[in-house]
Chains A and B, each alone.
Chain A
Amino acid sequence: MSAQQSEETDRPTPAAAHHDTGEGLNTLASIARLYPYLRPALPRIVLGMVAALLASVVSLAIPLVLQRLVDGTLLHRGGDRYEVIGAAVAILVLGVAEAVLISLRRWFVLAPGTKVEATLRNGLYNKLQHLPVAFHDRWPSGQLLSRAVSDLNLIRRWLSFGIVLFVVNIVTIVVGFAVLFYYHWLLAVVMVVLSIPLWVAGYFFERKYHVVARRSQDQQGDLATAVEESVHGIRVLKAFGRGRHALQNFRAQAEELRGTELEKARAVAGLWLWLLMVPDVAFAVCLGLGVWLVSDGQLTVGQLLAFFATATVLRFPIESIGFLLSMTFDTRTAVDRFFDVMSTPNLIDDPASPKHIEKPRGELVFDHVHFRYEDSPERFPDLVDGIDLTVRPGETMALVGLTGSGKSTLTSLVPRLYDVTGGSIRVDGVDVRDLTLEELRSRVAMAFEDATLFSASVRDNVLLGRPELFGDDPATKKAADAQLAEALEVAQAAFAYDLPEGVETKVGEEGLSLSGGQRQRLALARAVAAKPSVLVLDDPLSALDVDTEARVTARLHDVLEGTTALIVAHRPSTVMLADRVALLENGRVTDVGTHSELLARNEHYKFVISSLEDEDEDDTGRTNENQNEEVDA
């Protein structure tokens, strides 16, 4: 999704666009939950309203001056020049005052609006960072993004513009109509009656437009995805000669978007029709009536003139009511969505009274560990189904098993990316849930199969787990350089020095894009650089070519000498790193031993890890045992 697009998404999902009659109060109650965030801003918002109100009063006063002038002097030939000058000066003063007041209104609400937005945004982001991985599994990042960007933008605009104008415009309309009644009741009645369709049209237009605009945005997103895929997958499309096929899909999607855009245009056209026609009808009627009233002596020319001028001033407030009402409902939805996230309890947090590991040795014990995903169906057994396993200090343990046997899941339980649903995991005798997250995660470092690099320099990415190495003094810098060099060497990632700006080259989303193998090696370097007492590697070499893999394995072997490590392995070469191997089948450890022991005694192990052709037994049948295979997350 491009930045531009999401920035402009200022309308929340249509799902929340239903409003029954009692909704008004609910909406206000819902928005009122923002009060704690708003409190510091309230005085300025109120001042902004006052300024806006005064601006309205001034704009309504200008016609009054005109009326006085016309009726007092101009209608009588040879009228008083000084009165003309007086009136012009009065209008000049009022006009300047109006401009200044509008400016003041903006200035008053400026700070609170943007500050509240920033506070909400930081609050949301920090909350999201602390919510457990299970939460993020359920919520696609795009969803979260629209909450953090467009929803909060909407709230800001509502605060600094929507609510202010809503209150002020209603007051302006009431006062304005009172002034119209003061000029003449009959003309005022015509204006009142004819402004009702404008409110209705404005409101319904907004609701409809909202839905269509949302759809158009989704379709634009889909179209962008289609473009991205057609470019990223261009080798596949070319290899299979499916360019035409892709074009057809793209074209169909583009046509769909065009349909939606035209629907949008028709909705806008419908609104224009009402917004322009109704006031003109009202003006035409008032023109006829008004001139007649003047000729009849019930109205002066000055009053008629002032009437038209006032009615012109009132046009915008009247038109805006439907829009502002709709905006208020949208804001309510945005506030609800904000609190959806903010009120989610954080289930993986620091314990109330944390323990501390006095002498880290690096022993890792799995004690009757069970785990299942919250949303996994009843019929599936636990993904990790009672694992007992001890990794001794300094030992390297490989986890081997078919896809879906629970290897990756097991590794992610160690740094509490997920919490066990039964049993416990202990590091140096302490349950991981009794440690602060800070301590646990500084003792345990991980490298994942899908290597995530952040938009930062290679240096910052690799030294991520060593915050103490970020510093400008020469000693720290020297230590950092040494650590960086060592980690890059182990992971065979010396290519980093050849990047355009060496290890200061920015990588990640915003930086240079690296190949899968390069990213994996940097992620491995990061885990190594963290110097943890327990190193957890989830298939860290899968994207490397055989030559590189061999070199990394050789170097890693030395590093693992003194470190406790848990390694998910798919290949014999990775297994060779381990002192012992644990074989996983359907979430249980079915055998533990050295590679050669298992190779000698365990058929399933041979099936999983050995690619030699000499097994003639029908191994393929065994995969069927894994009926409830799930994809390793």
Chain B
Amino acid sequence: MSTATVTGVTGEDRSDLSKEESRRIRQRSLRLLGSLIAPMRGRVIVTLIVVVISTVLQVAGPALIGIGVDQGLAALRSHDWAPLAWTAVTYLVAGVGGALSISWYTVSSAQISQAILIELRTRTFLHTQRLSLEFHESYTSGRIISRQTSDLDSIRELLDSGINQLVQGVLYSGFIAIAIFTVDWVSGVVLLCSLVPLYFLIRWFQKRSQKLFRIQRVASAKLIVHFVETMTGIRAVKAFRKEKRNEREFGGLVEDYRKVNADTIQLFGIFDPGLVMIGNITVAVALLIGGFRVASGSLAIGSLLAVLLYARRFFDPMEEMAMFYNSYQSAAAALEKISGVLEEQPSVPEPANPTKLDGAHGHVRFDNVSFHYKPGRDVLPQFDLDIPAGQTIALVGSTGAGKSTLAKLVSRFYDPSVGSITLDGIDLRSLSSEDLRRAVVMVTQEAYLFSGSVADNIALGKPDATMDEIRRAAEAVGAHEFIASLPDGYDTDVNKRGGRVSAGQRQLISFARAFLANPAVLILDEATSSLDIPSERLVQQALQTLLADRTAVIIAHRLSTVAIADRVLVMEHGRIVEDGAPAELIGGTGRFAQLHAAWRDSLV
């Protein structure tokens, strides 16, 4: 099987990857990791050196106590203060030095992980924005959001605590083992023997905890979704008397969550004392063997003391180390998925050498264009269309006739499968997105508002707009009235309860946004569908002046819009079946004349 099967995001959900495929994905994510770490190589090395030093200093303590007791005491008995003083001062220096260096290490490692995170966040965000609509429509918003939120969180968790714990834990326990061997190798062997039960305990814990954490995450997510759904849908809950059923359902989820929490606590309730027990037994055995040897004179009392103090500490970082594997696994999976998204190529790429476009006129031409999502199934069969600069076109036809697709081609959300679309004679594919978007703006039915004020949302059309320009744009499309009546006028946060705006009002805001952007070509895809009639009338009036000197493509079900069009295109099954001035078509006997008559009847 070829490795191309797992390019990009394909294969993300498969659990049956072949060895070769898994290797490819692993390498891809390692390359990504490498490229993130590379710029900070220097700092990483220095930080590692510091953590080694700091651990050595921390571990020195018990050995120094042993030396103090064995040599310091002996020397002191012969009135020689020096060894004791030296030992105490060394202890002091080691303690202070260890503390200082560990605290430097904490900050430095945070700087490294934060730098990695911000780079990864930015790259993913930017790449997501670059990827074309085609990708977004098939990959779904939920997944691309997870890549950038929960997946990045797992990586953050690993970097934040996981790595620190592992590095410190491994070094700490490692150095303690070395210290014990140095002080007394027999005790070292005792310690080594304790590793056997320790290994089994940790492995058991890892397996159980990994499973439990997964169940816990699912249980808590379910609980939260149910809770939020109830609270945000409280009207429907009340109106349809869902309270009792909710009580049962939620009660069940609470119980599931409680059980898995209890299981998790229980797991730790066995693991933690287990570590203590292994530690204590190790101490007891070390004491037994060491005690015999001290009694027989083959071991200094101070050495035994140091060994005993060390032995308990050896087990301190074990819990964190056991937890590391869990966070490592989820982070690795997350990185694999992110690297997949980053590998995707935009199907509507930026030109390498864009043609410059200053002050577009708005002459749009479809030359021999056809379009399909899947080869062999043309959504728009081959056609030509010439829209002179300044003309307003109304696209009419039933749902699925291809109107939106045509609009998306003009705004280059998609590229034509065959042929070319030009703006003022320049192929859209050779325009920089900056120039293209300045010249062509599309307003869609789902008027999306970003969090922030109403003014911010309008200003999206022109980021450097003054408050005055924003207000004028709102006035021009008839949005000023309702905006002024919001709690804080233009500064009202669109997400705050008091500022909740209706679908129609959202459309007015996005209209104002487009007005402010002032493009040469304006595309309106069902952009007035949710307006109430008085507002729609205002918008119609505004459009008359707004569209006077620019090219416009309007898709509207309600044919009132047609009144302001210079030209009507009727579409059916992806083909343009009628093309002419509105009056001409209404007077005729074609499809449009029928539609128009039916529509007029519906008004009274």
Contacts and interface: CB of A to CB of B under 8 A. Distances in A.
B104 A269 contact: yes
A136 interface: yes
Contact of B96 (A6, A229, A281, A437): A281
A533 B463 CA distance: 53
A283 B91 contact: yes
A99 interface: yes
B129 A237 contact: yes
Contacts of B94: 280
A241 B434 contact: yes
Contacts, number: 491
Of B94, B235, B274, B461, the most chain A CB neighbours within 10 A belong to B235
Interface in B395-442: 398-399, 411, 413, 433-434, 436-438, 441-442
A126 B225 contact: no
B129 A465 contact: no
Mostly, the B contact residues are helix
Contact of B291 (A69, A274, A572, A608): A69
Interface in B3-56: none
B296 A78 contact: yes
Nearest to A622: B534
Interface in A424-476: 437-438, 441-442, 444-446, 448-449, 452, 454-455, 464-465, 467
Given A106-B268, A247-B126, A272-B106, A619 B534 contact: yes
A452 B235 contact: yes
Contacts of B68: 287-288, 291
Given A103-B269, A262-B107, A287 B91 contact: yes
Interface in A219-249: 220, 223-225, 227-243, 245-247
Interface string B556-593: 01101001000000000000000000000000000000
Interface in A490-542: 508-510, 513, 516, 523, 526, 530, 542
Interface stretch (A23-31, A184-192, A305-313, A381-389): A305-313
Contacts of B130: 243
A441 B229 contact: no
Given A122-B250, A241-B438, A231 B136 contact: yes
A91 B228 contact: no
Contacts of A632: 502
Nearest to B563: A613
Mostly, the A contact residues are helix
Interface in B324-355: none
A287 B238 contact: no
A129 B249 CA distance: 13
Contacts of B297: 77-78
B376 interface: no
Interface in A389-407: 402-404
Given A114-B261, A609-B533, A633-B500, A243 B129 contact: yes
B235 A133 contact: yes
A254 B121 contact: yes
B262 A110 contact: yes
A111 B262 contact: yes
B558 A611 contact: yes
B202 to A, nearest CB: 16
B69 interface: yes
Nearest to B434: A241
A304 interface: yes
B96 to A, nearest CB: 6
Contacts of A283: 61, 65, 91, 95
B368 interface: no
A288 B84 contact: yes
A141 B228 contact: yes
A262 B291 contact: no
B225 A455 contact: yes
B233 A452 contact: yes
A75 B304 CA distance: 12
B384 interface: no
A94 B240 contact: no
Interface in B510-562: 510, 513, 517, 526, 529-530, 532-538, 541, 557-558, 560
Nearest to A85: B288
Interface residues of A, number: 183
Contacts of B537: 611, 619-620
Contacts of A3: 217, 220-221, 224-225
Given A103-B270, A106-B265, A231-B145, A284 B88 contact: yes
A74 B88 contact: no
A273 B153 contact: no
Nearest to B131: A234
Contact of B246 (A1, A129, A465): A129
B229 A546 contact: no
Contacts of A118: 254-255, 257-258
A547 B397 CA distance: 11
B434 A291 contact: no
Contact of B231 (A136, A279, A572, A627): A136
Nearest to B599: A546
Contacts of B122: 247, 250-251, 254
Contacts of A266: 107
Interface string B105-116: 011011100100
28 contacts: A4-B221, A77-B295, A78-B296, A103-B269, A110-B269, A125-B227, A126-B247, A144-B227, A230-B129, A231-B136, A239-B413, A243-B129, A246-B129, A265-B106, A279-B95, A285-B88, A285-B92, A288-B87, A312-B309, A402-B532, A452-B236, A454-B233, A454-B242, A526-B240, A607-B534, A619-B534, A623-B534, A633-B500
Given A245-B463, A287-B91, 4 more contacts: A88-B287, A309-B308, A448-B239, A626-B485
